[in-house]
Amino acid sequence: MVIKRLSMVIFLLGALIAILGGSFRFIPETETLTIITLIILGAFIGIMNISREQEKEFLIAGGVFIISSVAITELLEKFLLLNVIGNILNNFIIFIAPACIVVAFRVIVDFASQSDWSLKKEEKVAAQIYHQLSDKQKLWDNIVLFAVALAFIILVLQLFFDIDAYKNIILAVDGIVIAIFFVDLVVLYRRVHDFKRFIKTSWLDIIAVIPLGFIFRLTKLVRFVRILEHMSKTHKATKAAGKISKAGAKMTKASKISKVNRPVKFFSKTRPYENRKKKK
């Protein structure tokens, strides 16, 4: 529920930036920052807000929206007064496209990871494993989430900003991120205890530790998504179990009250009979 609310806030923020960025002219540096922000927010929408049941519908809707927007912006270029609408649509394309790319990438990964072991079965087992994890193991998953977020931020900084002055700091942070990813491989293997399943389900995590460029760290986003999904499922299951236990407690209380009331009802029924006897 928290993830859904957060993703809704991110979507509204992205939509607001797209509208304001297209409606008003800013200095070039601010326009670049707007584009980067829209790309990042769009990617997070794809990661957090699109469930597996909605993937196909989202890709179709997103594709239709992007194609239609491109066609409309080309038509609006002829009309200077409507140029603002064209700019807004361009910003929405920049916002929606990363979400579509992330979802499409996730679908491709799911197909590539499929085997005789059913994907739905894999998800159920993974959710059960996560539900049984200790507090230390759940803390480790949170550390992995933080490391993936750091890797993503470093990649954005490298692509869009001059960071030569902070090169040593970034290399040190990247070294820490790779170390966390290496340890995570050991953790993932120990959870499944099966080398074949480990390779089939964690091959992207293996790619993430290849020291050939920051772009390889993005493959760890799949692990990021899975952790968030398992957290969400566990939260829902815990909430449902709480409701069931409350309902059970209420039923038990009601049954106890009814047992107590039975003798009371019995004696209350016998009183009229006793009163009649006395009258006679």
- 104 and 123 share a domain? no
pLDDT of residue 242: 53
Considering the domain boundaries, does residue 248 fall inside one? no
- 164 and 105 share a domain? no
Last residue of a domain, one of 113, 144, 160: 113
Last residue of a domain, one of 71, 88, 113: 113
- What is the DSSP annotation of 52-85? GGGHHHHHHHHHHHHHHHHHHHHHHTT-GGGHHH
- 59 and 160 share a domain? no
Number of domains in the chain: 2
- 96 and 144 share a domain? no
- 233 and 135 share a domain? yes
Considering the domain boundaries, does residue 280 fall inside one? no
- 120 and 231 share a domain? yes
pLDDT of residue 49: 63
pLDDT of residue 65: 84
Last residue of a domain, one of 55, 82, 113: 113
pLDDT of residue 11: 81
What is the torsion angle, in degrees rounded to the nearest 10, for the CA atoms of residue 211, residue 157, residue 153 and residue 24? -150
The amino acid occupying position 215 is: I
Considering the domain boundaries, does residue 261 fall inside one? no
- List of residues 6+ apart from 177 with CB closer than 8 A: 147, 150, 151, 154, 217
Q: What is the pLDDT along the chain (280 residues), one digit of tens a residue?
A: 556 676 777 788 888 888 887 777 655 556 777 888 888 888 877 776 666 667 777 888 888 888 888 878 777 776 655 677 878 888 888 888 888 887 877 776 666 555 444 545 555 555 555 556 667 777 887 888 788 777 777 776 776 667 778 788 888 888 888 888 888 888 888 877 778 777 777 777 777 777 665 656 666 666 666 666 556 555 555 555 455 556 555 666 555 565 555 555 544 555 554 555 444 4
- 219 and 127 share a domain? yes
Q: Is the pTM of this model over 0.75?
A: no
What residues make up the domain containing 27? 1-113
Considering the domain boundaries, does residue 143 fall inside one? yes
Distance CA 30, CA 28 (A): 5
- 87 and 139 share a domain? no
Place of tokens 């912006």: 73
Give me the phi and psi of 59, to 5 degrees please. Answer: -65, -40
- What is the DSSP annotation of 118-170? -HHHHHHHHHHHHHH--HHHHHHHHHHHHHHHHHHHHHHHHHHS--GGGHHHH
- Residue 249 burial (10 A CB sphere; 0-12, 13-18, 19+): exposed
